[in-house]
Amino acid sequence: MSITSFNPPIRTLMGPGPSDVHPRITGAMARPCIGHLDPAFVGMMDEVKTMLQYAFKTENQLTIPISAPGSAGMETTFQNILEPGDTAIIGSNGVFGGRMKEVTERCGAIPIMVEDDWGKPVDPQKIEDACKANPGAKAVAFVHAETSTGARSDAETICKIAHNHDALTLVDAVTSLGGSELRVDDWGIDAIYSGTQKCLSCTPGISPVSFSDRAVDVITSRKTKVQSWFLDTNFLMGYWGPNAKRTYHHTAPVNSLFALHESLVMLQEEGLENSWARHYKNHLVLRAGLEAMGLSFVVEEDYRLPQLNSVSIPDGVDEAEVRSRLLNDFNLEIGAGLGALAGKVWRIGLMGHTSRVENIFLCISALEAVLIDMGADINKGVALYAAQNAMK
């Protein structure tokens, strides 16, 4: 058997992630590899930290990229904060709230689940009630932007409730960083994690995290060791900390960090608030086209993520066949529903470099063509006109 070089097809990625990677970022990855303790690389590390603080809108010193994807960022925040026997209140309104429960249990902590329907935000009143019923809870954890549904929860209000009950806040911002308003310091978020492969237009494999001074005090006063040696921030700060002489911890993914650096430079060039506005404006264009076609959204507009759109599947349509035909005939990827929404929705992403008008028009026209060919009951010939009008 002779195996040759792998050359992937060129796709337009409009699913729940990864999103399209900007050519500047793939170009950055192709730059010469240098040592992870090279003075030039160490200088770049400092710039990455500064730009991540900008992206998170925080002055937290412990703001670093974890050398692993967003799931490792989740484990980093939970494992550093929670110890065996601790209680954590978890707002769950989709797949990733459920994963928080799993990670909490693996830390030896006790999860108190606050459940909301998929497609709805985490209910702040339920969090308030859970805090009152569980005095002494160490943390309140929730997903700011639930990737499995496209629902955005009110992080500012939930964090205020948690702090009123002297609990830390642990927040999943994998899908929101760079794409939706997110203010770590102003909202009082104590520990937060994200990923590079969504609204930052970067490749998968890195997880930005940030910890408040309050969270750092909790970490440094732990009675037990952090469950994971690799994810222990006490050690990571020796490598990512402000000291001129860095302590070896692990071999960082050098070229992937080149990519993250470039993506954060691009975010600064565009302007963080401008990026938020672009994602929302493009959502309105997509919404106009899909609704004109007769399709509807699962999440109500007031708490819908502009960068992750859950769209109901028309009656009688084989949703998997639609996705397959979009991929094979148009090189266009959209996502399937998960969990309670499996088989009921498509998840259409408008994240990062994907969030461009030409991609929206491709998606609308390709989806309309496939649905018409499959005999779906939709409004024909009006979607592109409606989307174009929404741009005015």
Instruction: Check whether 148 has a pLDDT greater than 80.
Output: yes
| % of the chain with per-residue pLDDT over 90 | 96
Question: Reduced to 3 DSSP states, what percent helix, strand and coil does the chain have, rounded to the nearest 5?
Answer: 45, 15, 40
Residue with tokens 């070229």: 255
- pLDDT, mean of residues 305-329: 97
The 308-312 sheet, strands edge to edge: 308-312, 345-349, 335-336
Instruction: Check whether 87 has a pLDDT greater than 70.
Output: yes
Residues 275-297 pLDDT 10s:
999 999 999 999 999 999 999 99
Task: Pick left, alpha or beta for residue 231 (phi over 0 → left; psi -120 to 50 → alpha; otherwise beta).
Answer: alpha
Q: Cα 380 to chain center, whole Å?
A: 34
Q: Cα 136 to chain center, whole Å?
A: 29
Amino acid type, 326: L
So what's the pLDDT on residue 238?
86
Cα–Cα distance, 104 to 303 (Å, whole number): 27
- pLDDT, mean of residues 177-202: 98
Cα–Cα distance, 319 to 370 (Å, whole number): 11
So what's the pLDDT on residue 243?
65
Cα–Cα distance, 293 to 386 (Å, whole number): 9
Cα–Cα distance, 302 to 214 (Å, whole number): 32
Name 109's Cβ contacts closer than 8 Å, sequence gap at least 6.
82, 83, 84, 85, 86, 87, 88, 138
So what's the pLDDT on residue 241?
80
Cα–Cα distance, 35 to 37 (Å, whole number): 5
Name 115's Cβ contacts closer than 8 Å, sequence gap at least 6.
92, 93
Q: Is the distance from CB of 153 to CB of 140 less than 8 angstroms?
A: no
Cα–Cα distance, 180 to 51 (Å, whole number): 17
Instruction: Check whether 316 has a pLDDT greater than 70.
Output: yes
Q: Is the distance from CB of 387 to CB of 361 less than 8 angstroms?
A: yes
CA atoms within 13 A on the CB side of 272: 16
Q: Which residue has the higher pLDDT, 274 or 244?
A: 274
| Phi (first) and psi of residue 320, to 5 degrees | -65, -35
Q: Which residue has the higher pLDDT, 247 or 280?
A: 280
Q: Please give the helix or strand (H or E) that residue 296 lies within, else none.
A: none
Residues 42-67 pLDDT 10s:
999 999 999 999 999 999 999 999 99
Token pair for residue 112? 């108190």
Amino acid type, 389: N
**Mean pLDDT of the chain, nearest integer:** 96
Cα–Cα distance, 173 to 50 (Å, whole number): 18
Best CA proximity match to 390, nearest among 363, 361, 365: 361
- pLDDT, mean of residues 384-390: 96
Instruction: Check whether 390 has a pLDDT greater than 80.
Output: yes
Q: Is the distance from CB of 346 to CB of 336 less than 8 angstroms?
A: yes
The pLDDT-based confidence of 38 (bands split at 50, 70, 90) is: very high
| Phi (first) and psi of residue 311, to 5 degrees | -115, 130
Instruction: Check whether 97 has a pLDDT greater than 80.
Output: yes
Q: Cα 392 to chain center, whole Å?
A: 29
Long-range contacts made by residues 327-333, C-beta under 8 angstroms, separation at least 24? 327/11, 329/366, 329/370, 330/12, 330/362, 330/366, 331/9, 331/10, 331/11, 331/12, 332/11, 332/12, 332/14, 332/362, 332/363, 332/366, 333/11, 333/12, 333/13, 333/14, 333/15
Residue 310 three-state SS: strand
Amino acid type, 197: Q
Residue 67 three-state SS: coil
Domains of the chain: 23-269 (3.40.640.10), 272-390 (3.90.1150.10)
So what's the pLDDT on residue 244?
55
- pLDDT, mean of residues 165-191: 98
- CB count within 10 Å of CB 7 equals 6
Residue 8 three-state SS: coil
| Phi (first) and psi of residue 3, to 5 degrees | -100, 130
Cis amide leading into 253 (omega within 30): no
Residues 329-376 pLDDT 10s:
999 999 999 999 999 999 999 999 999 999 999 999 999 999 999 999
Instruction: Check whether 245 has a pLDDT greater than 80.
Output: no
